[in-house]
Copies of this chain bind each other. A is one copy, B any other.
Amino acid sequence: MPAGMRVGVLTGGGDCPGLNAVIRAVTRKGISVHRHEILGFRSGWLGPVEGLTTPLTLDAVEEILNRGGTILGSSRTNPYKIDDGIAKLKATLAEHRVDALIAIGGEDTLGVAEQLTHEGVPVVGVPKTIDNDLDATDYTFGFDTAVHIATEAIDRLRTTAESHHRALVVEVMGRHAGWIALHSGLAGGANVILVPEKQFSVDQVCDWVQQRFERQYAPIIVVAEGAIPEGGKELLLTGERDAFGHVRLGGVGTWLAEEISRRTGKESRAVVLGHVQRGGTPTAYDRVLATRFGLHAIDAVTEGDFGKMVALRGTDIVRVPLHEATASLKTVPLERYAEAEVLFG
């Protein structure tokens, strides 16, 4: 058997359920099948810059498949924004005789990966975005878990809304893309779903809310954190100022609950799900997808197919150029939103 390679792995950006499943799959197949050595870099791109390493052995990846977060830690470090960042990074790779890197991350992490490829650092990417907003892949892991958690919350909130004849506004993640709102709203049977892709009319929302009350049910409104009312973001400005003296932007969920209450005279409450959406054990769907991504990424490395990232197309794992990952944001198409809209009210 030919001697294997020495492969570095890192996770960058916000954490996401399924990261550990990728790390495990890369490590297990890398060691057992390809006879590579696998070296973990800690804290995203900071790891190769500062030489923060941790060995990834078979034992190190036991019992991590169903754990959220990332055993490697993460950061938002961009080596191009650090003095001598790239030189240090290359020195670390040389020192540890690393033949190739697997970078698991979102737009930013993969953007760095692509730049590095052009400078001769052999990298394979694994896409990660809990928001599902990467255009080059049908789905990314973590998204299904986030939708699952938001849906469970909506299920719970429905019974409390009904008991008190209240409107409940649920704010979910999604600054630029409304996928989590769309899918959790569909799954939870929301009566209104609001996404960043389309400014919403508060009047229209109140109409749907009223319709629902008239049918003797309580309305659930799911709103992505990045959704904007007609009239613009300025409506969300609060009087408060933050430490820098900037006037704070209030959360759209809380704002909307107050507007609904004011306009319809009905009790209304907001729940902001926040960080619970990105933590904890991944769903089975995400574990399978993340595992398959890891298995295919280590194959790409072994074949020397660099500058690529793995992606899901239908039921297949394929490889696409890294620059596709960052080319354009995958937002919710208006026809997908329209598909859901018929269920409002």
Contact = CB atoms under 8 A, between A and B. Distances in A.
Interface of A: 14-15, 17, 19, 24-25, 28-29, 32-33, 58-59, 62, 65-70, 73-74, 138-139, 144, 147-153, 155-165, 168, 183-184, 186-189, 215, 217, 238-241, 269-272, 274-276, 278-281, 283-285, 287-288, 291-292, 295, 313-315, 339, 342-343, 345
Contact of A168 (B70, B217, B240, B275): B275
B163 A284 contact: no
Contacts of A291: 186-187, 343
A183 B148 CA distance: 18
A110 to B, nearest CB: 18
A313 B313 CA distance: 9
Contacts of A25: 343
A159 B33 contact: no
Contacts of A163: 15, 19, 68-70, 73-74
Contacts of A68: 156, 159-160, 163
A280 B156 contact: yes
B73 A148 contact: no
Which among A73, A184, A187, A281 has the highest number of chain B CB atoms within 10 Å?
A: A187
A291 B336 CA distance: 13
A33 B342 contact: yes
Given A32-B342, A68-B163, A271-B275, 15 more contacts: A24-B189, A67-B159, A68-B159, A147-B284, A148-B283, A149-B156, A153-B276, A155-B280, A155-B281, A156-B276, A183-B288, A238-B240, A283-B285, A285-B285, A313-B314
Contacts of A162: 69, 73
Contacts of A238: 240
One complex includes copies of this chain to the number of 4
A64 to B, nearest CB: 9
A130 to B, nearest CB: 10
Nearest to A278: B160
9 contacts: A69-B159, A148-B283, A152-B280, A159-B279, A160-B275, A160-B278, A186-B292, A239-B240, A271-B274
A159 B187 CA distance: 19
A77 to B, nearest CB: 12
Nearest to A333: B315
Contact of A215 (B58, B65, B155, B314): B58
A325 B205 CA distance: 40
A127 to B, nearest CB: 15
A342 B295 contact: yes
Nearest to A11: B163
A301 B345 CA distance: 23
Contacts of A275: 157, 160, 168, 269, 271
B284 A217 contact: no
Contact of A15 (B33, B74, B160, B279): B160
